[in-house]
Amino acid sequence: MNQDAAYETLGKYLKSKGKLRATPERYAILDAVLQTQGHFDAEGLYYRLISSGMKVSKATVYNTLDLLLNAGLVSKYRFTENSSRYEKAFGRPHHHHLICLECGDIIEFVNDRLERIQEEVCAEKKFQPQSSTLQIFGVCSKCKKDQT
């Protein structure tokens, strides 16, 4: 991940919206996202930021995550009914998720056949896709083994 390119993307997005300022807090939140491996939630990101000494409100974290989502720098998923999870999207390949209903593990996968099917369906329906994800819910091999 090229941090400079991510900064440039955020700067261009903020400028395109006119009234949105490029604040140090927004870039610090972007830095924290870029350093995060895997999926995270807004609350966890907030607590990580304040425990590192950053003075930031929960509202700023949530609002900045929305900006980063709109700028294409993060992806947002609802793996369960009650919470959203995020992951950095900038510079990452398009992928899908297997979600274990027992332990909560999220396994990412890439499948070229799924990508081709998506492209075919969109072309057939004259549909311009913005984003997509396939989420398969089930039981991972570790939990399956523990059940036997």
Q: Residues 96-133: pLDDT tens digits? A: 889 898 888 888 888 999 989 999 999 999 999 877 88
Q: Answer yes or no: do 86 and 107 share one domain.
A: no
Residue 58 maps to which CATH number?
Answer: 1.10.10.10
Residue range(s) defining the domain that contains residue 148: 93-148
Q: Answer yes or no: do 19 and 80 share one domain.
A: yes
Between CA 98 and CA 143 the distance in angstroms is 13
Total count of domains within the chain: 2
Q: Residues 4-56: pLDDT tens digits? A: 888 899 999 998 988 888 899 999 999 999 998 888 999 999 999 999 999 99
Q: Answer yes or no: do 88 and 116 share one domain.
A: no
Q: Answer yes or no: do 17 and 85 share one domain.
A: yes
